[in-house]
Amino acid sequence: MEHVQPFGRPFPWRAAALAACVIALIALAGLRPFLVHHANVRIRPVPGTGRVSKSHVVPLRPRARLSVLVLNGNGIAHAAGEKATQLLARGYRSAYPTDATTTYARSLVLFRPGSEGEAERLARDAGIRTVSPLDGRLPSADAGYRLVLVLGAN
């Protein structure tokens, strides 16, 4: 059986802490010329960039408050349902899958006026590169949707 043997004298914690502080001060003193050099660098605006207007910044509505109509325009069975499930997993309030009246060569996100930012976010979420304003070709039953995702052949 082994027993712990006590040390004859206590460990010098104060001396160890003092040594660590001295080492840190020496390291900081070595960095001082580098820090002083970078503190004197002045930041100037890039010429010709103009001012950024903050009056047009509109916060995006959260995904949990958005409903999306997902149209299957590629003819592949259950494609709209699978994409709607993915959107629900990303936090959208509802995603209603249905078939488009025609076939589409390219996938796209359509939006009603005032929803462009949400449409761009939806396009990023869905991996679609084309975003366009809604041109009124939807049936009147689907008029309540501000965002429409059309799955095309690509």
pLDDT string in tens for the chain (154-residue length)? 566 666 667 777 888 888 998 888 888 777 766 655 555 556 666 666 666 566 666 789 999 999 999 999 999 999 999 999 999 999 999 999 999 888 999 999 999 888 999 999 999 999 999 999 987 666 655 667 889 999 999 8
Burial 43-68 (b: 16+ CB within 10 A, else e): eeeeeeeeeeeeeeeeeeeebeebeb
Tokens read off for 55: 């009056």
**Residue 57 confidence (pLDDT):** 65
Please tell me whether the overall predicted TM-score, pTM, comes out greater than 0.75 for this model: no
